[in-house]
Structures are given as C-alpha cells and as structure tokens.
Chains A and B, each alone.
Chain A
Amino acid sequence: MSEPNKSTTNEKVRPITQLVLGAVFGIAFGFLLQKGGVAKYHILMGVLLLEDFTVIKVMLSAIIVGMIGVFSLHRMGLVQLHLKPTRYAANILGGLLFGVGFALLGYCPGTGAAALGQGNYDAVSGVLGLMVGSYLYAEASLVLSKSVEKWGDRGQLTLPNLVGLPTLTFVLGFVPLLAAVLWAIERAGSGG
C-alpha cells in the first residue's frame, strides 16, 4: 500500500548513496546499542527476567525523542511516515513466536548484530537461525497471506485513530505518560 509511494520518493536518493547512508546509519546504530549495554546477553535477558530495565529505558527514550522528532518533521512536510499495517492475528501470533525466540537466543535482530560485533560469537548461530527462519516464512508466505494475515487486518491504524483524537493532542498526552513510566521504573529501581 505504501510501496508505490516509497519507490517514487526513493528515486530522489541515488541507490549507491542510499547504501552508503545505510552503512553509516548502521555504524551509528550498532555503536549506540553497544554503548547502551543492550548488545549484552545478561542485559537483554535481564529485562525478560524483570531484573534489569536498561532495555526499557533505551526503548522508551528512543520512542519519546523519535515520536516528537518524526511527527514534527512530518508536520513541516519534511518526511513521510512509514506505518506498518495493523493485523491483529499476525501481530499477536508473530509477536509471541518472536518472544519465544528472543528468550532462547537472548538477542534480537538488531542487538544480535551488535552482539556479534562486540565479540559474542554465539550470535553467529543466531544470525544463521534468523536467515533460516526468514526463508521458512517465505516458504509459507503465500498460505499465511491468505489466512492469518487477513484476520483482523485494519491497515495503517494508529493509536490516535483508535481513540478518536488528533495526532498532536494524542502525542501531547502520550509523551508525559511514557516519561512517567520511565520515572516510575527509575524510582522503583533506586528505592529498593
């Protein structure tokens, strides 16, 4: 649905430039993930064991800054949004399957790359598994697209749409809420 859109705007950027930008952004991304500690097995497992909340702190900070930034740029007409479709059954089933894999592997696709760069050689096995799993999905993609991915397909649904508020109003309420969650985690952590 956003595919035709995407290809026209991407023509502004030469393909080779796009690849170089991807590598540069990737270096920055991997650097930040490692410095934030989220390339480490015990930090990633720590959040799943509800013992260490570094992952949540990184994610929520990124979401808050990115949300304000990307919606501001969008209002200025400088960027396009890239909303992934909401498909209830696929989001839930795929999400749960992902979570099982997350606990077994201990890294996710982005932090796995960072873990590998950091010298966690076991991430190599995870990377191979990720490629095999992707290919298995491709084998099943036709069947899944006609079944599970059709169940509860709501298209590009956003939280503001869902509650019936303008995006700006929603963001103005949601950012303090997410900040409050971070504050509560920090307080619970330091309060003992």
Chain B
Amino acid sequence: MKVGATIPATFGLLLIACPVGAAELSADPNAYSEPAWSPYLVGSLIGLLSMMTFYFSNKPLGASTAYARVAGMIGSAIAPRHTASLKFYQDKKPRVDWEVMLVVGAIGGAFLAAWTGNELTLRWTPAMWEARFGDSVGLRLAVAFVGGVLMAFGARLAGGCTSGHGISGTMQLAVGSWIAVICFFVAGIAVAMLMFQI
C-alpha cells in the first residue's frame, strides 16, 4: 500500500514541475508559428496523464464515445423507445459518464490554455480555410458537419478515435489500434491533398 501513496505524490510533483519546463508563450493567435509548448513536452505530459487515468480512474484516455453518449441522451429525450432498442445503446448506456466529463473538461482546459497564452481565436472560419475556400461561414460549417458525421461513424466502426486508438490503444500495442491509426492518416492525407493541393 506504500506504493499506492508514493505514486500519486510523484504525479503531483511532475505536474507542479511541468510549467517550469514550458517554453515562452507565443502571442499571435493565427500565426503559423511554433506551438506555445514543445510538442515533445506536451506529448510526454499526455503520456503521464494516461498513466494517471489508468491508475486513478481505471480508464484509458478517449474522446469519441462521449459524443455517442450525449447523442444517445438526446435520442432518449426525443425517441426513448427507439433509442433504447438500438444495440449500441444497450451496450453503452446514454448517460453522463467519465468520458463525457473528460470531453467537457477538455473544452474548459483548452479555453484556459488559450486564454493564458493569449491565443483565443474567436472566429468561425480558420485562416487557412479562408485562404483556400473563401470566407463563407455556411460552407465551412456544412463541410465541418459532414466531416463530423463521417468521422463519428468511422470512429465507432473502428472502435475509437485519435485518442482512444491513436494514443491509448497504440501505447498498449493493440494491433487493431495501430491499423486504425494508420488508416486515419492514409485517408486523411488523401482527402486533405485533394482539398488543398489540386
């Protein structure tokens, strides 16, 4: 039980120590510059965060199921019997769980990070999108919506997303996770090239 006490203490120290190692914050919100913190530092801290979620919550980091649970909650409000009849929602009950809180927390955490780093964007179309496709908000929202639909269907079929497969699954050396993440990038690269380089 001694180990159980030292491990949280170690995690705590690491978290306190981390901002000291962080690079200077950048100021321009839309500059195509270096990220505020080194990607190696951020990645390593996400690795430590994964250890903490395994240890304290018995859960791997993952984001996509949260959207499915919230969709199920909305579905249950509109068509309760139909939603309850679906196989997926019999396996994954539509309710607020750890993962929903994780995604809600991530929105807040990113706000804090952008706010403290003076990187709040507060815009409807990303600069890079505008340079290629113009400043129509409707077009951007429509494409983003369709992208979201395909992405969520794909995530559920593949069994996870860039977090669940791409980080948590790959670090546990699951074969399916490595296959899925390679497929994410293969198709993503093909479509991105079509969008921006043709």
Contact = CB atoms under 8 A, between A and B. Distances in A.
A70 B171 contact: yes
A31 to B, nearest CB: 4
Interface of B: 3-4, 7, 15, 22, 32, 34-37, 39-61, 63-64, 66-68, 70-72, 74-75, 83, 86-89, 96-114, 117, 119-129, 137, 140-193, 195-197
Nearest to B191: A103
Given A69-B47, A104-B143, A134 B195 contact: no
A35 B36 CA distance: 5
A9 B58 contact: yes
A23 B101 contact: yes
B182 to A, nearest CB: 7
A97 B187 contact: yes
For the complex of A and B, 3 pairs with smallest distance between CB atoms: A129-B148, A26-B105, A61-B43
A102 B180 CA distance: 13
Contacts, number: 566
How would you classify the secondary structure of chain B's contact residues: helix, strand, loop or mixed?
helix
Given A69-B48, A91-B176, A101-B149, A62 B105 contact: no
B158 A137 contact: no
7 contacts: A32-B46, A37-B39, A84-B174, A97-B151, A104-B151, A122-B137, A139-B86
Contact of B120 (A85, A94, A118, A130): A118
Interface residues of A, number: 132
A43 to B, nearest CB: 7
Contacts of A24: 105
Contacts of B159: 84-85, 87, 90-91, 94
A117 B106 contact: yes
Given A86-B175, A129-B148, A158-B175, A119 B196 contact: no
A100 B191 contact: yes
B55 A32 contact: no
Contact of B167 (A18, A63, A104): A63
Contact of B47 (A57, A63, A145, A159): A63
